[in-house]
Amino acid sequence: MGWKLKTVQTILSILAFYITFAVGEDEEPRSECADFNNMTWLEYHQQGSKLQVQYLLLTRKNTDCASLFSQDFLSNNTYFNSSQPTKIIVHGYRALGSKPSWVKQLAQALLWVQDANVVVVDWVYGASLAYNMVVENYKEVAIQISVLINQLQNHGCKLESFHFIGVSLGAHVSGFVGTLFKGKIGRITGLDPAGPMFKRADTFDRLDPSDALFVEAIHTDSDYFGISISVGHADFFLNGGMDQAGCSRSRSTSMYSYVICDHMRALHVYISALNGTCPLTGIPCSSYEDFLKGRCLGCPGRCPRIGLLENSGLTVFPLPQPNKLFLLTTSAPPFCAHHILVQLEVFLLDKSAEVQVILRTGGHPETEQRLRLQTDGTIYSRVIAHPVPLCEIDSIQLKNTGAHFYRQGDIHVVSVCISEFPSVGEVEPLCVKKINVRRGSPWNHDFVQLCENY
Mark 372-394 as b/e (b = at least 16 C-beta within 10 Å).
Answer: ebeeeeeebbbbbbbbbbbbbbb
What is the rounded distance in angstroms from the CA atom of residue 128 to the CA atom of residue 138? 11
Active site residue 286: no
Mark 285-305 as b/e (b = at least 16 C-beta within 10 Å).
Answer: beeeeebbbbebeebeeebbb
Using an 8 Å Cβ cutoff, are 337 and 329 in contact? Answer: yes
- Domains in the chain, CATH or no CATH each: 2-327 (3.40.50.1820), 338-446 (2.60.60.20)
Active site residue 263: yes
Of the candidates 67, 122, 174, 192, the residue annotated as catalytic is: 192
> How is the chain split among helix, strand and coil, in percent rounded to 5?
25, 25, 50
The one-digit pLDDT tens for each residue of the chain (454 residues) are 444 444 445 444 444 434 433 333 344 444 488 888 765 544 544 555 567 899 999 999 999 999 988 877 776 777 999 999 999 999 999 887 788 999 999 999 999 999 999 999 999 988 888 899 999 989 999 999 999 999 999 999 999 999 999 999 999 999 999 999 999 999 999 999 999 999 999 999 999 999 999 999 999 999 999 999 999 999 999 999 999 988 876 665 555 556 789 999 999 999 999 998 889 999 999 999 999 999 987 787 788 999 999 999 888 778 877 789 999 999 999 999 999 999 999 999 888 889 999 999 988 888 999 999 988 999 999 999 998 888 889 999 999 987 555 566 789 999 999 998 887 666 778 899 999 998 878 999 998 765 654 4
Using an 8 Å Cβ cutoff, are 416 and 435 in contact? Answer: yes
The number of helix segments (H) and strand segments (E) in the chain equals: 8, 18
What is the rounded distance in angstroms from the CA atom of residue 212 to the CA atom of residue 225? 24
Of the candidates 219, 263, 338, 386, the residue annotated as catalytic is: 263
Using an 8 Å Cβ cutoff, are 282 and 314 in contact? Answer: no
Three-class SS of residue 15?
A: helix
The reported pTM is 0.88
What is the rounded distance in angstroms from the CA atom of residue 286 to the CA atom of residue 264? 25
- The strand pair at 187-191 and 162-167 is best described as parallel
What is the rounded distance in angstroms from the CA atom of residue 177 to the CA atom of residue 143? 7
Mark 60-87 as b/e (b = at least 16 C-beta within 10 Å).
Answer: bebeeebbebeeeeeeebebbbeeebbb
Active site residue 168: yes
Which residues make beta-bridge pairs with 237?
219, 326
Of the candidates 98, 168, 230, 312, the residue annotated as catalytic is: 168
Using an 8 Å Cβ cutoff, are 390 and 343 in contact? Answer: no
